[in-house]
């Protein structure tokens, strides 16, 4: 029997937890001339969700992780690679003749790999415009190419005013849909919600929340009852209570419990505690390293949140200090907020409660 839970990579098919409403909303946008802005904390499954929606839409797509991009040349290269994956090189290579900064293209003898480079470009705007324009030229009004920019907030750091340059180019396009994914909410909101930003209200904004409890309960329970024959409903409730329905950590804990039940034959009443301790132990050094990287204010706030208390009610810390620390730790991904601020990793939260007095 195969473990039915998967975490750490993009999930699809039987590993995908139903997000019916979100999928329907994204599909409606993809079947329109509008663009999508999707914001959520890291490891909430936005990349998997978008991949599933795009795949179901049957539209051709190009996906670029902006964390791999350090300069405009990188971005242009990835855009060209995406185009060449969709269209045979021989049929569209003539379009490169119009590039003002000529790319160097190397193809392996078997044609299974392609390297694209540019000489140091003096006209960065021209390089960006030519690469994006190529996508528009090979797209079709009835079967639009979808361009996905994952972790889009990283793009702003590449070059001064790069957002103005990109907006001026793609606002003229009519045959391409863009999807902008981002995990740093403050930066993404600044890009798409600040009135003076070039990308202000550039597309339809979605904020991806945790998977609804009832949907996640059914997903976990239907899979875990194959190896836990008694009290599987209660065990599922305990899993979701511990992880607070966080998509990544729920999959991680459920996968560990499934392995311990199926392979190690651990009793159902011991599965949760054993599995949680097992995961915490495997990350002990990482958690210690993270803890030691915090300053004293960060440590105090994380301890307060780990005990499910409210840091703003702690009179020993000035409100401005609390806000500054929380904002910094949210940007780094250690804290998240839906209805309240919380430590993003429930295993780290428990490690703090057990290890830090």
CATH number at residue 291: 1.10.10
Rg (CA), the chain: 23
Where helices occur in 66-123 by DSSP H, the ranges are 72-86, 89-92
Last residue of one domain, picked from the residues 282, 308, 328: 282
Last residue of one domain, picked from the residues 207, 232, 254: 207
Q: How many residues does the chain have?
A: 357
Q: Based on the fold, state whether residues 253 and 163 are members of the same structural domain.
A: no
pLDDT (mean) for 146-159? 91
pLDDT (mean) for 206-210? 91
User: Any idea which of 100-104, 192-196, 255-259, 264-268 has the lowest mean pLDDT?
Assistant: 100-104
Q: Based on the fold, state whether residues 303 and 246 are members of the same structural domain.
A: no
Q: Based on the fold, state whether residues 250 and 300 are members of the same structural domain.
A: no
158 phi and psi angles, rounded to 5 deg? -65, -45
Q: Based on the fold, state whether residues 30 and 68 are members of the same structural domain.
A: yes
Is 10 within the bounds of a domain?
no
Task: Name, of 19-23, 226-230, 350-354, the range with top average pLDDT.
Answer: 350-354
- pLDDT given at position 259: 96
Is 2 within the bounds of a domain?
no
Given a cut of 80, whether residue 131 has pLDDT beyond it is yes
Q: Based on the fold, state whether residues 45 and 120 are members of the same structural domain.
A: yes
Chain-wide mean pLDDT for the chain? 89
Is 22 within the bounds of a domain?
yes
pLDDT (mean) for 41-63? 91
Is 259 within the bounds of a domain?
yes
Q: Based on the fold, state whether residues 146 and 186 are members of the same structural domain.
A: yes
Which carries the bigger pLDDT value, residue 120 or residue 331?
331
- pLDDT given at position 109: 59
- pLDDT given at position 16: 62
Please give the tally of structural domains in the chain: 3
pLDDT (mean) for 9-21? 65
Please give the Cα distance from 275 to 251 (Å, whole number).
12
Q: Based on the fold, state whether residues 29 and 117 are members of the same structural domain.
A: yes
147 phi and psi angles, rounded to 5 deg? -105, 120
Given a cut of 90, whether residue 200 has pLDDT beyond it is yes
Query: Is residue 48 very low, low, confident or very high in pLDDT (cuts 50, 70, 90)?
Result: confident
Is 1 within the bounds of a domain?
no
Token couple for 252: 């991680």
- Residue whose tokens read 């795009």: 54
**What tens digit of pLDDT does each residue of 256-289 get?**
999 999 999 999 899 999 999 999 999 999 999 9
Q: Based on the fold, state whether residues 218 and 107 are members of the same structural domain.
A: no
Task: Give the rounded percent of residues in the chain with a pLDDT score beyond 70.
Answer: 93
Query: Is residue 79 very low, low, confident or very high in pLDDT (cuts 50, 70, 90)?
Result: very high
Last residue of one domain, picked from the residues 282, 309, 331: 282
- pLDDT given at position 142: 85
pLDDT (mean) for 99-120? 74
Which carries the bigger pLDDT value, residue 353 or residue 317?
353
Given a cut of 90, whether residue 331 has pLDDT beyond it is no
Is 3 within the bounds of a domain?
no
Three-state SS at 101: coil
pLDDT (mean) for 289-314? 88
Q: Based on the fold, state whether residues 277 and 299 are members of the same structural domain.
A: no
Q: Based on the fold, state whether residues 267 and 242 are members of the same structural domain.
A: yes
Q: Based on the fold, state whether residues 274 and 294 are members of the same structural domain.
A: no
Is 50 within the bounds of a domain?
yes
- pLDDT given at position 121: 59
Three-state SS at 208: coil
Provide the domain limits for residue 292.
284-355
- Residue whose tokens read 């070059």: 159
User: Any idea which of 6-10, 108-112, 166-170 has the lowest mean pLDDT?
Assistant: 108-112
**CA-wise closest residue to 11 among 251, 220, 259, 214:** 251
- pLDDT given at position 10: 61
Given a cut of 90, whether residue 318 has pLDDT beyond it is no
- Residue whose tokens read 């339809």: 204
Q: Is 13 exposed, middle or buried (0-12, 13-18, 19+ CB in 10 A)?
A: exposed
pLDDT (mean) for 323-335? 91
Query: Is residue 97 very low, low, confident or very high in pLDDT (cuts 50, 70, 90)?
Result: confident
Query: Is residue 306 very low, low, confident or very high in pLDDT (cuts 50, 70, 90)?
Result: very high
pLDDT (mean) for 83-91? 84
Is 154 within the bounds of a domain?
yes
Q: Based on the fold, state whether residues 64 and 196 are members of the same structural domain.
A: yes
């Amino acid at each position: 029997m195969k473990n039915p839970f998967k975490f750490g990579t993009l999930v699809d098919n039987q590993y995908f937890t139903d997000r019916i409403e979100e999928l329907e909303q994204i599909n409606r946008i993809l079947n329109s001339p509008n663009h999508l802005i999707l914001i959520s904390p890291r490891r909430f499954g936005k990349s998997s969700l978008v991949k599933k929606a795009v795949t179901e839409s049957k539209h051709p797509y190009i996906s670029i992780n902006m964390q791999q991009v350090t300069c405009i040349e990188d971005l242009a290269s990835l855009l060209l690679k995406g185009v060449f994956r969709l269209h045979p090189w021989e049929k569209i290579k003539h379009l490169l003749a119009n590039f003002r900064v000529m790319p160097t293209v190397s193809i392996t003898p078997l044609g299974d790999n392609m390297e694209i480079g540019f000489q140091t470009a003096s006209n960065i705007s021209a390089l960006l415009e030519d690469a994006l324009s190529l996508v528009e030229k090979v797209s079709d009004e009835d079967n639009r190419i979808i361009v996905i920019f994952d972790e889009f907030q990283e793009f702003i750091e590449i070059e001064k005013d790069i957002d103005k340059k990109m907006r001026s180019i793609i606002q003229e396009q009519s045959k391409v849909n863009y999807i902008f994914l981002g995990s740093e909410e403050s930066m993404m909101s600044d890009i798409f919600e600040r009135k003076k930003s070039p990308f202000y209200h550039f597309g339809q904004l979605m904020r991806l929340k945790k998977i609804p409890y009832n949907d996640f309960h059914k997903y976990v329970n239907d899979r875990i009852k194959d190896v836990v024959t008694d009290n599987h409903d209660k065990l599922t409730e305990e899993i979701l209570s511990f992880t607070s329905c966080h998509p990544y950590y729920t999959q991680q804990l459920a996968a560990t419990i499934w392995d311990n039940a199926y392979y190690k034959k651990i009793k159902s009443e011991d599965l949760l505690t054993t599995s949680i301790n097992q995961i915490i132990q495997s990350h002990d050094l990482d958690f210690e390293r993270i803890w030691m990287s915090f300053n004293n204010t960060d440590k105090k706030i994380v301890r307060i949140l780990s005990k499910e208390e409210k840091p703003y009610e702690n009179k020993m810390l000035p409100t401005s200090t609390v806000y500054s620390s929380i904002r910094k730790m949210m940007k780094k991904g250690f804290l998240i907020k839906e209805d309240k601020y919380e430590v993003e990793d429930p295993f780290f939260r428990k490690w703090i409660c057990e290890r830090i007095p």
